[in-house]
């Protein structure tokens, strides 16, 4: 099982804003195209919201990264979509998905031990049960865990979500009294506000199976664009974002409309979105997916 590289001395933010940003994004987009398709055919699909909520809460307690919890949910989704799981083993499955994701995403010092995770389950599963479940999942995934998620793309795109000229534009009337130190504090505050908004939007798209029909890069671009709109930053999709992501807006217009309708039915009208962003149609919903409960080869 390959593991994400954490040994580079440069921070991820520096790498994302560096000369390799476009190359990193291109590599991730190539990997996301190899993700298994999701059909919403799990007999236990109704348990998904509770399992995801549990994964998120456990991730917070263990102080795991967003990329870890998102990868765990992806593994959970794909495995459940291709297997009929015994109800008594659903929590074991979820917690092992989180463990595998942590082994791939986290520093070794932050990977939770099986003994710690075992205490989180209200059952008598033995450590061997965890190991057996790990092996079953890894064999199904052909020992590949390098699957980009929305969190991976947001982690990169967010480096370009707010720029210094955004601060000047949204506070133009006060520019003459802002010194460098004040500008830094205001910029930090704006970035924090953007980060919190993106986090909320990520949670919405993670829990709703409708968004599984979109590629993670498309969802991430939607989240960044909508965050800028919510913060009243113009333009909502900057030339820098176009250059770095390779998207001009049309690629995620479909997802943007869908997310806007979910947040607020009136939001789409009030924000007066440029019709040039959009194409016709609507994303697939779970109700439109085939009702298959037996295991199928992808």
Those residues whose C-beta lies under 8 Å from the C-beta of residue 36, and which sit 6 or more positions away, are 78, 81, 82, 298
Which tokens belong to 174? 């006060």
| pTM (predicted TM-score) | 0.81
Position 123 scores a pLDDT of 75
CA distance 8 to 11: 7
Position 8 scores a pLDDT of 46
215: left (phi over 0), alpha (psi -120 to 50) or beta: beta
Q: Each residue's pLDDT tens digit in the chain (298 positions)?
A: 656 655 443 444 455 555 678 889 999 999 999 898 888 899 999 999 999 999 999 999 999 999 999 999 999 999 999 999 999 999 999 999 999 999 999 999 999 999 999 888 877 899 999 999 999 999 999 999 999 999 999 999 999 999 888 876 555 444 444 566 677 788 888 999 999 999 999 999 999 998 999 999 999 999 999 999 999 999 999 999 999 999 999 999 999 999 998 887 444 444 444 444 333 333 334 333 332 223 444 4
Position 20 scores a pLDDT of 79
For the four alpha carbons of 128, 130, 134 and 136, in that order, the dihedral sign comes to positive
Position 108 scores a pLDDT of 95
Position 284 scores a pLDDT of 36
């Amino acid at each position: 099982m390959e593991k994400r590289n954490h040994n580079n001395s440069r921070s991820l933010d520096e790498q994302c804003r560096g000369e390799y940003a476009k190359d990193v994004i291109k590599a991730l987009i190539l990997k996301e195209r190899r993700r298994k398709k999701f059909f919403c055919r799990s007999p236990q699909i109704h348990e998904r919201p509770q399992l995801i909520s549990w994964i998120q809460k456990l991730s917070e307690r263990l102080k795991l990264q967003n990329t870890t919890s998102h990868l765990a949910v992806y593994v959970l989704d794909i495995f459940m979509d291709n297997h009929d799981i015994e109800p008594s083993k659903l929590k074991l499955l979820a917690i092992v998905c989180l463990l595998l994701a942590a082994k791939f995403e986290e520093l070794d010092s932050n990977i939770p031990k099986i003994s710690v995770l075992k205490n989180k389950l209200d059952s008598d599963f033995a450590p061997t049960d965890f190991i057996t479940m790990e092996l079953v999942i890894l064999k199904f995934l052909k020992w590949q865990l390098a699957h980009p998620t929305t969190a991976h793309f947001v982690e990169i795109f967010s480096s370009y979500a707010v720029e210094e000229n955004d601060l000047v534009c949204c506070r133009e009337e006060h520019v003459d009294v802002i010194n460098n130190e004040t500008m830094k504090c205001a910029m930090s505050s704006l970035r924090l506000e953007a980060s919190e908004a993106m986090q909320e939007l990520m949670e919405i798209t993670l829990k709703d199976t409708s968004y599984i029909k979109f590629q993670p890069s498309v969802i991430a671009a939607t989240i960044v664009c909508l965050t800028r709109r919510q913060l009243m930053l113009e333009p909502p999709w900057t030339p820098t974002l176009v250059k770095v992501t390779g998207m001009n807006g049309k690629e995620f217009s479909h997802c943007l409309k869908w997310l806007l309708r979910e947040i607020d039915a009136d939001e789409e009208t009030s924000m007066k979105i440029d019709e040039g962003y959009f194409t016709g149609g609507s994303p697939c919903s779970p109700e439109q997916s085939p009702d298959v409960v037996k295991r199928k080869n992808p």
